[in-house]
Amino acid sequence: MQLQNMIHILIKILYSLLISIMAFATSIHAEAANLQYRHAEQLFESGDYQAARLAYKRLLFYNPDTEFRDIADYRIAQSYYYQGEPTRAEALFRDFSTEHLNSPLRFQSQLMLGKLHFDAGSYSLARTTLFKLSHTTNDPEVVEAARYLRGWCYIHTTDWNKAISELRQADISNMSGHRGKKARELADILLAETPLPTKSPKMAGWLSTVVPGTGQLYAGKIREGLLGAALNGTFIYLAADAIRERRYVDCIGISLIGWRFYWSNRAEAQRFATEHNARHKQALIETLNRQAEMPAP
């Protein structure tokens, strides 16, 4: 009986020892994972994105159930973005939302998708992505960032009133935020500078069709307009003179050459009007970019 009791006591001691060893091993494992995560974060913050990405992947390989899994996946996607690999970054950010449904970073990943579409010039797709995001989360910083970026989408598509509206909403959503202050300043610039002094390419084309050179003058190209008027006037004079002297073959040759200059004069007027609009748009965007990059006072 005593032997049996001693065996039971020994088993309990061994069991407790085993539990202690397992707990100790788990704590060591967790501490190692924590150190690996901190090392990866330091690399990421220093801008060494390739080394950081490898460190995060190593963390996930040896600790697949780590509490830092969502952060590691997000950082890996970010590292591809910052290293100029948007296609791989987009795929990872898109997968993040389905793989980490309960992670607070899922909204940040959707915001990055909108940023990727914006960077690619897909402004309509970016607006749609950001609109859905701003109506999915209540996180004021994410909502503010989404509206701010939507405002820039409207800026690039010259929809000035909607751009002002989005920037005003970004300002309201988080009044204490740095981006909110910038949004208010950008909206004020847009309100003061728009609508831009645009020229109609269609109007420029018709003006130069009726009177060669006037389309260029309308588009602000004085020298080109006068040159076009003089050149086309010369061909008209030479053709008329050939008809007057009954040099019909010469008239046909002059007319064929002059006709080519006449229609190129129309196309040139349309091009100048389009370039005029593009210059003013680009100048405004550059002004807005400079204002957005200025440090807060």
Q: Give whole-number Cα distances, 247 to 235, 239, 254, 256, in Å.
A: 14, 9, 11, 14
Alpha carbons 173 and 109: distance in angstroms, whole number:
20
Strongest mean pLDDT among 55-64, 75-84, 213-222: 75-84
* pLDDT band at 209; cut points 50, 70, 90: confident
Name the residue ranges covered by the structural domains of the chain: 49-103, 125-195, 201-293
Q: Positive or negative, the Cα torsion across 235, 236, 237, 239?
A: positive
**Nearest CA-CA partner of 145 in 134, 161, 155:** 134
Kindly indicate the confidence band of residue 96, based on its pLDDT and cuts at 50, 70 and 90: very high
Q: How far apart are CA 207 and CA 58, in angstroms?
A: 68
Residue 235 has pLDDT above 70, yes or no: no
Residues 107-119: what's their mean pLDDT? 95
pLDDT mean over 107-133? 95
pLDDT digits (tens, 9 = 90+) for 64-74: 888 889 999 99
Cis peptide before 197 (omega within 30 of 0): no
In the predicted model, what is the mean pLDDT of the chain?
Answer: 83
Whole-prediction pTM: 0.75
